[in-house]
Structure 1
């Protein structure tokens, strides 16, 4: 847990104030303020905290210490409440009407939402999804395939926005109704990602291992692009879980096989839209290699791979023409920003984070990794630039 002095110092930096300026604005002695921030004085009178809080424009208990401090609670924005209710509601009777949902209509509506998914339009999606979920449920057995697609899309979105229980509900339902192995593998891919975000690394490793073994083609040269890509994606999940579970050998072995799958594929491949909105190929493998390097504390490797990725993205080669989703790309940019922060290049890191905030303002606040990056930056800096303070607000950095 952070001390009162650490909380005061963090908020003071966010407000762009020196110790002397805060002392003057609050009427608190500079010597008391210094002792608090240096943890030479553990506490102070409530009146002192109140004066500091007034000058810093925060609630007094933000400095004293809230009982909820440090709680790793699931984010619960109200915009997803109606999605959760629709996800768990019993199927409505089709009844008799001239305006009943059809498989074709629900499929068209789901496809039409794709641009919103690509640009992380969470607010608009939270409005559209409840009706679509109810319509898909009302289709009965004839709507099974489109319902599986929709549930997987909902699970993917819920993981992005840290609605973990809702994500598990959606993915479990999609697995129950999946009609073939590739359809089920998409749900397993997302389930592994969910387990990793929840810190359940052993379960994620076991699940990814089981499905990577099951999906491995008998001969790479005879596998379809979709089969190769699904196997490769599962290997990347295994590698990511293993490296976080301090199993570097297992992580590297999985990455080696994923690299072989991408080389057999020969290019970046986008899954058919009825399966997934992700891509797999040499570029995706490079991004995940950089991510693993960041996990084990190798920022120079991340920056070296990041430079290579930039060159490939700008090349005219058809191997890299297929664009990945903004969330996949922005996750890589966070890795590069983190590496710049660890090497002391805060200007580059701030520029990258600002770029993400400009292009994906609904995505960035849901990334705890972004808060961690900015939090370390703030701890290391004596003073914060206006851009740093704006980013702290954007990522809802708790102070």
Structure 2
């Protein structure tokens, strides 16, 4: 057997570690895909597949999509204070918080600092500081600061592969939040967490239902329109992953109207929205559908002065690199992958999708020495 990709190894392990073990044919039949596809993934002749296909395979194996994508469940380094175990205790407390409650201003500053670390991919710092912020906000009965810290923890935990704990964290945030706009932002996070678990149907229903409930009036404030638009693009992304491409396009058209209405990229309540976000999700929807030519065409509409957060820009660049690789444009894909590491060096180390694109370039292209060096740094064979 050839050396497997990340995803191929996971499929093989999850298929064979059963009693009785599943055959490749049985797995293919359960997932509604071809035996040839399963064979190519397991043998390393394909590094990845469409998200809708991977979701079907994950469901057939009775696991979350995140398990199939082999995301990290540990940090690159061990923080001096806090850490994942401390974060779990803070999210699911049994005893009264040990940390003293800070002032609302101090807690708000700590949460804002946390979001800056998140958007740069500095999960180690967050794992070290978030437990104290959550415990401090709980001790001070600062409900919105507690909700936002738990929302932030939920986002970090998705990237570290702890999807169930992430879902608990966002649920607890919704239990305590008071600010109605912050609640809307957290509902968007809730939908995104479900999406990352492969529960795209539920993610879409949740986002669209919230969007319908808060649809802004004619004279609504820009932040209200922005949060509404973000729910629309989240719903579109989920619908695309659930195989409902027509609904995804309808939602994106409505989101584009909202983006034009506010006229700028915004990041209200750490929730990015604007024309840049609509373009980014339009590329994502086309990639999910396997229409890579359209994905690249849509990407050309990205505003030159996009105000998307750093991690979002890096994720968009990964989609574009993926489309180039699928079309055989390997030099373009390599150049983008190198730029992503330069642009978001901490973020990239936790991103399995980036590694899958890189693995495909290694397998199908003629990679440069720079690309091979990048692959070694990221642990991609």
TM-score (ref. length: structure 1): 0.73
Q: C-alpha separation between the residues in 2 aligned to 1:227 and 1:136?
A: 26
Q: C-alpha separation between the residues in 2 aligned to 1:100 and 1:205?
A: 37
How does 1:103-142 map onto structure 2 within 5 Å? Answer: 103-140=104-141
Residues 1:366 and 1:267: Cα distance change in structure 2 (over 3 Å): same
Residues 1:101 and 1:245: Cα distance change in structure 2 (over 3 Å): same
- Report the CA distance between 1:288 and its aligned residue: 1.0
> Structure 1 residue 177 and structure 2 residue 160: aligned?
no
Q: C-alpha separation between the residues in 1 aligned to 2:325 and 2:236?
A: 24
- Report the CA distance between 1:304 and its aligned residue: 2.2
> Structure 1 residue 334 and structure 2 residue 334: aligned?
no
Q: C-alpha separation between the residues in 2 aligned to 1:266 and 1:107?
A: 28
Relative to structure 2, which stretch is displaced further, 254-263 or 118-127?
118-127
Instruction: Give 3-state SS (helix, strand or coil) of 1:92's partner.
Output: coil
- Report the CA distance between 1:261 and its aligned residue: 1.0
Q: C-alpha separation between the residues in 2 aligned to 1:282 and 1:108?
A: 29
Q: C-alpha separation between the residues in 2 aligned to 1:105 and 1:269?
A: 24
Equivalent residue, structure 2, for 1:50:
none
Q: C-alpha separation between the residues in 1 aligned to 2:313 and 2:153?
A: 20
Residues 1:228 and 1:93: Cα distance change in structure 2 (over 3 Å): closer
Residues 134-155 of structure 1, C-alpha deviations (whole Å, 9 max, x = no match): 2112113xx1111111111111
Instruction: Give 3-state SS (helix, strand or coil) of 1:279's partner.
Output: strand
> Structure 1 residue 391 and structure 2 residue 374: aligned?
yes
Q: C-alpha separation between the residues in 1 aligned to 2:121 and 2:72?
A: 17
Number of matched residues?
A: 314
- Report the CA distance between 1:163 and its aligned residue: 2.2
Equivalent residue, structure 1, for 2:276:
283
Residues 80-135 of structure 1, C-alpha deviations (whole Å, 9 max, x = no match): 2322222222352679xxx7533232222223334323322222222111222221
1:252 maps to which of 249, 253, 271: 249
> Structure 1 residue 364 and structure 2 residue 351: aligned?
no
Instruction: Give 3-state SS (helix, strand or coil) of 1:5's partner.
Output: coil
Residues 258-290 of structure 1, C-alpha deviations (whole Å, 9 max, x = no match): 11111211222221xxxx223211121111111
Q: C-alpha separation between the residues in 2 aligned to 1:346 and 1:387?
A: 13
For the 8 Å contact 2:72–2:159, the answer to whether it is kept is no
- Report the CA distance between 1:201 and its aligned residue: 1.2
Residues 291-328 of structure 1, C-alpha deviations (whole Å, 9 max, x = no match): 1111112222222222331xx224xxxxx5xx221111
> Structure 1 residue 188 and structure 2 residue 187: aligned?
yes
| Structure 1 residues without counterparts, runs of 5 or longer | 9-38, 40-69, 315-319
Q: Which has the larger radius of gyration?
A: 1
- Report the CA distance between 1:356 and its aligned residue: 1.2
> Structure 1 residue 234 and structure 2 residue 234: aligned?
no
Instruction: Give 3-state SS (helix, strand or coil) of 2:359's partner.
Output: helix
Instruction: Give 3-state SS (helix, strand or coil) of 1:125's partner.
Output: helix
Instruction: Give 3-state SS (helix, strand or coil) of 1:308's partner.
Output: coil
- Report the CA distance between 1:384 and its aligned residue: 4.0
Q: C-alpha separation between the residues in 2 aligned to 1:94 and 1:245?
A: 43
Q: C-alpha separation between the residues in 2 aligned to 1:278 and 1:87?
A: 22
Q: C-alpha separation between the residues in 2 aligned to 1:71 and 1:161?
A: 11
Q: C-alpha separation between the residues in 2 aligned to 1:222 and 1:7?
A: 55
How does 1:158-169 map onto structure 2 within 5 Å? Answer: 158-169=157-168
Residues 1:91 and 1:139: Cα distance change in structure 2 (over 3 Å): farther
Q: C-alpha separation between the residues in 2 aligned to 1:349 and 1:138?
A: 49
TM-score (ref. length: structure 2): 0.76
Relative to structure 2, which stretch is displaced further, 231-240 or 163-172?
163-172
